[in-house]
Structure 1
Amino acid sequence: MPKLSVIIPCYYNEANIPITGPELIRNEQRFPPGVEFEYVLVDDGSRDGTWAALQGFQQQYPDRVTLVKLAGNVGSYNAIVAGIAHATGDCLAVITADLQDPPELLAEMYGYWERGLKLVLANRADREEGLVQSLVSNTFHYLMRRIALPGVPSGGFDMVFFDRQLRDQVVQMHERNSNVFYLLVWLGYPYVSIPYTRRKREVGRSRWTFSKKVKLFVDSLLSFSFFPVRMISVLGLGLGAVAVAYGLFLLVLRLLGENEPEGWTTLMLVLLFVSAFQMVALGIIGEYVWRGLDAARTRPLYVAEQVQPARPAAPSAPPVG
C-alpha cells in the first residue's frame, strides 16, 4: 500500500504540537484503508520546549513519527527541504504546525495523486487574518505572478502534495536562497489547485516576521525571474534617452542664441537621482553575485544535530503451544 509522508516544519511551536499531533492522527480516518502514514517533524532551531513536545508526540506514535532537530535556525523553507530529504513515502505533503492550513484537505489531495497527478496545491482563496497582513500577502503573490511565475495560483499556497519523483528532483537540486514551493511549480508538472480559507492562528505567536517576508520575496524574485536585471537595463536606457533629449534641447537653444536655463538645484537633483539609481543597480547585481558565491561554496542548507527515525512496531510473538 502507498505510504504518505507529511512534513511539518516547527519553530517555537511548543504549544501547538500537543494539538496538531492528535489532529493529524484523527485525520487518517479520512483516507482509504491501508494507507501508511509517516510524519516528519523538523525542529528549526527552536529555543523553547518544541523539541520536548515533539519527542512526546513520537513516544505516543513511535511507528510513524520521525524527528529531525536542526543545529540552528535556517528558515522554514530549508527546514522543509530537510524534512523532504528524510521522508520515505511514495507521496509527500507539507503542512504548517499551527493548523492554519486544514489537515482535512490532505485526503482530497491524496485522491488527486491516486488519479495520476504528481503535484497538488492548496491555494488560499481567503484568510481569517487582519487587513494589513492580507494586503501584504496578496501583494507579494500578485507581483510573483506578474514578474516571476505566471502559473502559480492567486493568493499563494503553503500546503502542497507531491509525488516522490518531485521529491527526488528537489533534493538533487540543492537550491539555495529559494522558495521550495515555487520550485515545485517551476519543475513544470501539471497540477491542480484546491481553494481554501486559511484559518486564524489560535495558539501561540507567529514568528513569521516582516523582515522574513521581505527576504522571502527577494529570494523568490531573484530565483525565478530576471526582471530586476532587465529593469536596470530599461531604466538605464530611459535615463540615457532623457540625457540625449536634454542635450539636444540645449544645443537648439545655443543655435538660436537663447540663454541656457540656469538650474543648480535641478542639476543636483538629477545628479542625486542618477547616483541613487546606480547604487540600487549595484545592490541588485550584488544580490545575484552573492547568491552565485553562496552556491559555489556548496555549504549544506542545514545541519541536522539529531535525527530520531520512526521505529516500526515489533511483530507480536506467536502463540506458545
Structure 2
Amino acid sequence: MPKLSVIIPCYYNEQNIPVTLQELISNEAQFPAEVTFEYVFVDDGSGDNTLQALRTAQQRYPDRIRVIQLAGNVGSYNAIVAGITYATGDCMSVITADMQDPPELMVQMYSHWKQGFKLVIGNRQDREETGFSKWFAQTFHWLMKKLALPNIPDGGFDFVFFDRQVADEVIKMHERNSNVFYLMVWLGFAYVNIPYVRRKREIGKSRWTVSKKIKLLIDSLLSFSFFPIRAISVVGLLLGLVALVYGLYIIGLKLLDAQGPPGWTTLMVVVLFVSAFQMIALGVIGEYVWRSMDAARKRPLYVVQEVYATKPASDI
C-alpha cells in the first residue's frame, strides 16, 4: 500500500487552511483505494492564527495530519525541506496552501510515479494572475532556462510529485540559499511535466513580496549558473581592449601634437564607467563569497519548535 505525503508550507494562511484541507480530503476519492495519505503542514513562523487553524485540522484528522511548527520564518523553500524531512511517505507532493495549484493534478502525477518516474512536474502553462507578478514569474523562469538549467520545463513550476529517493537526496545536500524545486531537476532523474493553468488566489493576501522574489532570483541564478562571474570576465576583457586602443590613441596624439586635446570630459566618463563596473563586479563576487561563508557556518536551515502528530517520537 503506497503512502503519499502531501507537504504544504504555510505562512499567514489562517483563512486558507479549512478550504485547503477540504479540497485535499475530497481529492482522495480520485486515487486508487490502495493509496494512504499523510498531510504535512509546516507553519513557517506565521504571525496570525495559522498554527491554531492547523491544530484544529490535526485534531479533526489525527491519523492523517502532521503539523510542524518552526521557531521562526525561514522562507517557503526551507519550510518545504522541513516538511520533506518529517514526511514518511513512499512518494510525496508539494502544493501551496492557497490552492492556486489544482490538487486533482496529483492523480495524474501519481500514475506517472507508478510507471517508474522519480519526478513529476506540474509546470505553469499560463497564469490567471496579471500585472507585475505574472511578468516577473515569466522573466524569472526564462532567465533560469537560458542561463542556468536549460532542461527545466517552460513556464516555471512549484507543484511537484516525487519519489522517496529524490526526497532523501535533497535532504542530504543540505543546500542553502537555493531553490529546492530546481535542485530536484538538477539531480538528473528523468521527469514528466504536466502543463496546467495556475489559478488566481481567492482567499487572503500573498506574502510573496518583491524583495523576496528578487532574492529568489539572485539565489537561483548564483546556485545553478556561473553566468554572472563569466559575464564579469567578458566585460572586463572588453574594457581592457577598449582601454588599450584608447591608450594607443592618446599616445599617438601626444606624439603628433604636444598640446593635444584637454580630454577632461572623456577622462571622467572613462573613470566613472570603469568605477561603476568595478563596483558591480565586487557586488557579484560578494554575493558568491557570502553564500560560501553562509554554507561554511553550517547553521540549520530551520529550527523546529514543536511537532504535532499522533505517532510516537521514535517514528519521526
**Shared fold per TM-score greater than 0.5:** yes
Q: Give the alignment of 1:264-283 within 5 angstroms.
A: 264-283=264-283
* Aligned twin of 1:290: 290
2:200 paired with 1:200: yes
Q: Which runs of at least 4 in structure 1 moved beyond 4 Å after TM superposition? A: none
CA distance in 1, matches of 2:206, 2:12: 9
**Once the 2 structures are TM-superposed, how far is the Cα of residue 251 of structure 1 from its aligned partner?**
2.6
User: In the TM superposition, what are the counterparts of 1:23-172 in structure 2 within 5 Å?
Assistant: 23-172=23-172
The share of aligned pairs that are identical, in percent, is 67
Equivalent residue letter for 1:11: Y
CA offsets per residue over residues 121-158 of structure 1, 9 Å max, x none?
00000001113221111011101111111111111001
Measured in 2, the distance between the counterparts of 1:309 and 1:225 equals 40
- C-alpha contact 1:62 1:311 (8 A) present in aligned 2: no
Partner in structure 1 of residue 253 of structure 2: 253
Shift of 1:63: 0.3
Q: Distance in 2 between matches of 1:140 and 1:270?
A: 33
Q: Count how many residue pairs are aligned between Structure 1 and Structure 2.
A: 312
**In the alignment, structure 1 residue 184 sits paired with structure 2 residue 184:** yes
Deviation at 1:17, TM superposition (A): 0.1
Contact 1:64 1:311 in 2 (8 A): no
Structure 2 length-normalised TM: 0.96
- The amino acid across from 2:82 in the alignment is A
Alignment partners' CA distance in 1, 2:190 and 2:89: 21
Counterpart amino acid of 2:56? G
| RMSD, aligned α-carbons | 1.2
Decide whether the 8 Å contact of 1:121 with 1:159 is kept in 2: yes
- Is residue 7–residue 41 contact of structure 1 (8 Å, CA) maintained in 2? yes
Q: What letter is aligned with 1:229?
A: I
Other structure's SS at 2:79 match: helix
1:240-266 per-position Cα deviation (integer Å, ceiling 9, x unaligned): 000001112223333444853332122
Secondary structure of the structure 2 residue equivalent to 1:197: strand
Paired with 1:263 and 1:50, the residues of 2 have a C-alpha distance of: 65
Q: Deviations over 1:235-294 (max 9, x none)?
A: 110110000011122233334448533321221121111111111111111111111111
Q: Secondary structure at the match of 2:124?
A: strand
Q: Which residue is equivalent to 1:240? A: 240
**Residue 4 of structure 2 corresponds to which residue in structure 1?**
4
Tell me which moved more, 242-251 or 262-271. Answer: 262-271
State how far apart, in whole Å, the 2-side matches of 1:244 and 1:116 are.
59
1:284–1:24 CA distance, 2 compared to 1 (3 A): same
- Deviation track 1:10-38 (CA, whole Å, cap 9, x = no partner) reads 00000000100011000001111110100
Q: Matched residues in 1 for 2:289 and 2:135: separation? A: 31
Q: CA deviation at 1:165?
A: 0.3
Deviates more, 1:65-74 or 1:264-273: 264-273
CA shift, 1:311, in A, is: 4.4
Shift of 1:310: 4.1
Distance 1:195-1:258 versus aligned 2 partners, 3 A rule: farther
Instruction: Tell me the CA shift for residue 101 of structure 1.
Output: 0.4
After superposition, what is the alpha-carbon deviation per residue over 1:193-226, rounded to whole angstroms, capped at 9, x for unaligned? 1000000000000000000000000000110011
Structure 1 counterpart of 2:104, which letter?
E
TM-score (norm: length of structure 1): 0.95
Distance (Å, rounded) in 2 between the aligned partners of 1:197 and 1:243: 51
**Structure 2 gap segments, 5+ residues each:** none
Unaligned 5+ runs, structure 1: 313-321
